[in-house]
Amino acid sequence: MNLTGHQLLDTSTSAEGSTTFTAKNPAGGVELPTAFHEATATEIDKALQLAQTAAIPLRKLPASQRADFLEAIADEIEALGDALLERAGQETGLPAPRLAAERGRTIDQARAFAHLIRDGNWVDARIDRAQPDREPFPKPDVRSLLQGVGPCVVFGASNFPLAISVAGADTIAALGAGCPVVIKAHHGHPGTCELVASAVLAAAKKTGMPEGTFSLVQGASHETGAALVQHPRTKVVAFTGSLAGGRALANLCAARPEPIPFYGELGSTNPVFLLPGALSERGSDIAEGFIGSLTLGVGQFCTNPGLVVGLAGEQLENFKSSAAGGILGSTPATMLHAGLHSAYINGVERLANTPGLSPLAEAAGADPAQSHAAPTLFETDAATVLGDRSLQEEVFGPASTIVACADKNQLLAFAEQMDGSLTATIHGTDQDLAEHTDLVALLEEKVGRLVFNGFPTGIEVCPSMHHGGPYPASTHAHFTSIGTRTITKFTRPVCYQGFPQKALPAELQDANPMGIQRMVDGEADGATS
């Protein structure tokens, strides 16, 4: 299909604004065809007014119809074929195999959410039946379930142009919960965003979704994002991106006359802890796996291992030597866009100029004109990191620092003061774990996912996955942005007291027409009649 560069406001397109921008191929900076119009305040207002119009009709649709919609989205994205991969490759520099795999993940997660919605158990239905004869006061009939909150604004991420963007988990979860979505396209891959949005809109038409269920707006300015989160119709915002950008939007959400939830996945260093037994048994193998994780996708994953922590000594020195060799043998590659490349160069320069940090290895052959990131490794001691909290700030890309701790107490001190993170990894033996239960207990308070004898990159998209963590990893550690539990971000409990059966949602009726699992009178899977 031909790109328009317009806002896609449900069934209509709009290009009111005179300000335009273009996408550039990060490998060489070549400007790509199609000028994209920055959304105006009027267009943003129209998108959210349409979403408000759709909110109740979409929420009231049978769950099976919303599930059909999600499955149709998967089908329509698949039907875009190679055109989608070609444009995404031009805008991001990502190779075709990576993009094909990411498209598969995007399609699979849409179908997984369709299964979740059709199954119906996600609503957490609870029923407490009336006891009119209870003394001293009668007990009323009380029932509750989770329902969609209304219009949602979702920001497309830069590092996953398909799986965490227009039809990413946040969008799919919100739509499945019955929430209209206005997506803010990422300015780094606006053409990819328009293509995927066209697929979502085609699916909406095919399955009879209410007008206003989905819209896409374009924008390269901070003002566009600010207008979306401050619009009075917006009920919740989901964001994946930088700490600075996310915090600015979170502050705007909190400062509104009606504050709203802001679910931001932000910065994370994802420390890897190397325990003595594991280093002794397989230090070189761990180093090889670490370098593979660090350089995967040019280090452009939010779970990239930015810190490695171990006890000072011969084993750690051997690990450093193996890891440095891996860095020197790696190849610089193109980052997603020039802005990320510039931030990476600045971040590496900041580390290089930090007292107490020493360069350990840097890959050769990086070409700035191609937005190449050179994998880089630094070394330091725990005292330096404990004395300078800026060293815990994420450098987005293939850079990491190995931290040597003088003893176990210093290792624990590092864990105790570390910032919140999406993940922490422990490499150890069974004996190591038995001797470091205090480390595990500390890390349980600091991260959303603990990895044992693996690496944090390569997230398994499944119902039990949790992709979030204490601030600054995310703004709400309770919620995830990957896996089917994502849907809870876009819901709230609604309680019905004393309602007649026919007026209740189907999930709460005694007849249980959907056949879902429920809590009845405090018992799971209790009587349903």
Q: Which residue has the tokens 């610089």?
A: 332
CA 439 to chain centre: 27
Distance CA 303, CA 196 (A): 25
CA distance 11 to 74: 19
Of 291, 306, 395, the residue nearest 344 (C-alpha): 395
Q: Which amino acids are annotated catalytic?
A: 265, 302
Tracing tokens 């896409």 back to the chain, one arrives at 216
Percent of the chain with pLDDT over 70: 99
Alpha-carbon distance 99 to 46, whole Å?
33
Q: Which residues pair with 264 in a beta bridge?
A: 239
Q: Is the pLDDT of residue 17 over 60?
A: yes
Q: For the whole model, what pTM was predicted?
A: 0.95
What pLDDT does 525 receive? 76
Over residues 294-328, the pLDDT tens digits come to 999 999 999 999 999 999 999 999 999 999 999 99
CB-side exposure of 230: number of CA atoms within 13 Å? Answer: 13
Question: pLDDT tens-digit profile of 503-522?
Answer: 999 999 999 999 999 999 99
Query: CA torsion sign, 69 to 74 to 78 to 80?
Result: positive
Q: How far apart are CA 24 and CA 91, in angstroms?
A: 6
What is the C-alpha end-to-end distance of the chain, expressed in Å? Answer: 53
* Structure confidence at residue 527 as a pLDDT band (50, 70, 90): very low
Mean pLDDT of the chain: 96
